[in-house]
Amino acid sequence: MLTRLVAPLCASALLASCADIPCPEGTALDPMTRMCARIDGGQGQADIGAGDAGLPDAHQDDTGPRDLGWDAGPCGMPCTGGQRCNETSGECVDCLSDGHCGDATPVCDTSTGTCVGCVDGTDCTATGRPFCVGTQCVGCRTNTDCPVSTPVCSPTTHTCGPCTARTDCNGRATAPACNTTTGACTLCDAPNESADCGGLRCFDQVSCTQCRAMTVAVDCQSPMAARCNATGTCAACTSNADCGHISGRNRCDAGTCVECTVATESADCGTTSCNPATRTCTTTDRFSRQQCQSCVADNECIQAGGTFRCIPMHYQGVPRGGYCMRATPGCVPPFTVGITSPSVSGAPSATYCGIDQNLASCEAVRGLLQSRQCPGGSAFECMADGARCETVGVAANRCTYSCSAPDACLEIGAGASCNAGYCGS
């Protein structure tokens, strides 16, 4: 680079001033010597001037002919238009740090010396624009940057928007389906119900449930939960209509689909009874069971000469089930022991004409009433708890039972006595 003094140009005395002659390009007029001197672009190299003469100079003084006393610095001529000198590259640039940039482009890209929106993601702190793409903070780079509510990243605007097809939700394990109405990725859709829900139902494209809410509840096959409620969960029935799809249990009773109820057994079971415990129809005709015969419902007991109900009975403390017994008054042998109990069909507690349940069962009593035989002489042949095989009156090998008093035995006949501890002795 040339740094020597330019020859004087004021050789003619006819010139009013040296300023009348322009200095060559790259030089300027020294106001003290009235001579053109080169503007030094030495970028840190020594001037060839005699000193600064009080003017600012980026470089060290030297000896020799005077120059202007200053040079253009690393960038040549001073930077204009608000630019700044990058002393490393020797170029005028827009910025050297973020402080040189404005609000619209607040970050200085020091590699180019330009103000930009961002250099990397750490520059993006505004809500909704956390990613740096190019030199701008944007809402997303790919679909995976977007929430399930707006799952698709626009490749042009880099903003998250709605899905329009299931493929837009690819890669979202917990939301593989697209709800085209809301534009959100969801857990399931009806066409892919099996894959999405593993045997459950897709409810409203939002969740996998036991059943499709508020529809025909074909998915709810439990009698205790036959109705599909508003949340897609199988629940207790509230009307007979909720039980229409449960085979053989088309009546709703207290939240359960049943075959019958005591109140509706005529319509539900025809001539047979409804078991109140299981709420199913039996094979026993109503009003067909005699006193001390087994039963499961009050309406199975014959109503002859009194009120008969089905009450729970025991033998030596062990439950035996229900038996038809007459409510007091009107007790006659062998049914002279009072038993107080509610009925199996829910009738309030009352006193009934019963037997001594520590000595015999109803089957043993009825064995004597029916004159059953035990030809081999074994009580086992009587097939009744508490039964005995004895001589009753004059008849050998007859079924009877133990007694503690005559009124525990038959009212009349050979079985009416209790002399040797059993009826008929």
Please write the tens of the pLDDT for every residue from 345-360.
999 999 999 999 999 9
Six token digits for residue 205: 């494209």
My answer on whether omega of the bond before 329 falls inside 30° of 0, hence cis, is yes
CB 279 within 8 A of CB 265: no
Q: What confidence category does residue 212 fall into, taking pLDDT thresholds of 50, 70 and 90?
A: confident
Mean pLDDT of the chain: 86
CB 83 within 8 A of CB 92: yes
Instruction: Write down the pLDDT at residue 81.
Output: 87
Report the C-alpha gap between 263 and 341 in whole angstroms: 21
Q: Which residue has the higher pLDDT, 335 or 103?
A: 335
Q: What confidence category does residue 69 fall into, taking pLDDT thresholds of 50, 70 and 90?
A: very low
Q: How many Å is the Cα radius of gyration of the chain?
A: 56
Instruction: Write down the pLDDT at residue 89.
Output: 87
Q: Count, in order, helices (H) and strands (E) of the chain.
A: 3, 27
Q: What confidence category does residue 274 fall into, taking pLDDT thresholds of 50, 70 and 90?
A: very high
Q: Which residue has the higher pLDDT, 99 or 59?
A: 99
Instruction: Write down the pLDDT at residue 23.
Output: 63
Return the domain boundaries, the chain: 1-81, 98-138, 292-354, 362-416
Please write the tens of the pLDDT for every residue from 280-317.
999 999 999 999 999 999 999 999 889 999 999 999 99
DSSP letters for 326-364:
EBSS---TT--EEEEE--TT-PPPEEEEE--TTT--HHH
Give strand ranges (E) for 128-171.
Answer: 131-133, 136-138, 152-153, 160-161
Cα 76 to Cα 40, 54, 82, 395: the distances in Å are 8, 21, 16, 146
Only one residue has tokens 């837009």, namely: 168
Q: What is the pTM of this model?
A: 0.56
Letter string b/e over residues 77-111, b meaning 16 or more CB atoms within 10 A of that residue's CB: eebeeebbbbeeeeebbbbbeeeebeeebebbbee
Give the dihedral sign, CA 50/56/61/62.
negative
Is 366 strand, coil or helix? Answer: helix
Kindly give, in sequence order, each residue whose CB lies less than 8 Å from that of residue 89, ignoring residues fewer than 6 positions away: 113
pLDDT at 3 over 60: no
Phi, psi (deg, nearest 5) at residue 19: -65, -15
Report the C-alpha gap between 296 and 343 in whole angstroms: 10
User: Which residues partner with 179 through β-bridges?
Assistant: 184
Report the C-alpha gap between 11 and 277 in whole angstroms: 136
Give strand ranges (E) for 238-371.
Answer: 251-253, 256-258, 272-275, 280-285, 294-295, 308-315, 318-326, 337-341, 350-354
Burial tier of 272 (Cβ tally within 10 Å: 0-12, 13-18, 19+): buried
User: Which residues partner with 240 through β-bridges?
Assistant: none
CB 158 within 8 A of CB 133: yes
Q: What confidence category does residue 183 fall into, taking pLDDT thresholds of 50, 70 and 90?
A: very high
Diameter of the chain by CA atoms?
Answer: 182
Please write the tens of the pLDDT for every residue from 125-171.
888 899 999 999 999 999 999 999 999 999 999 999 999 999 999 98
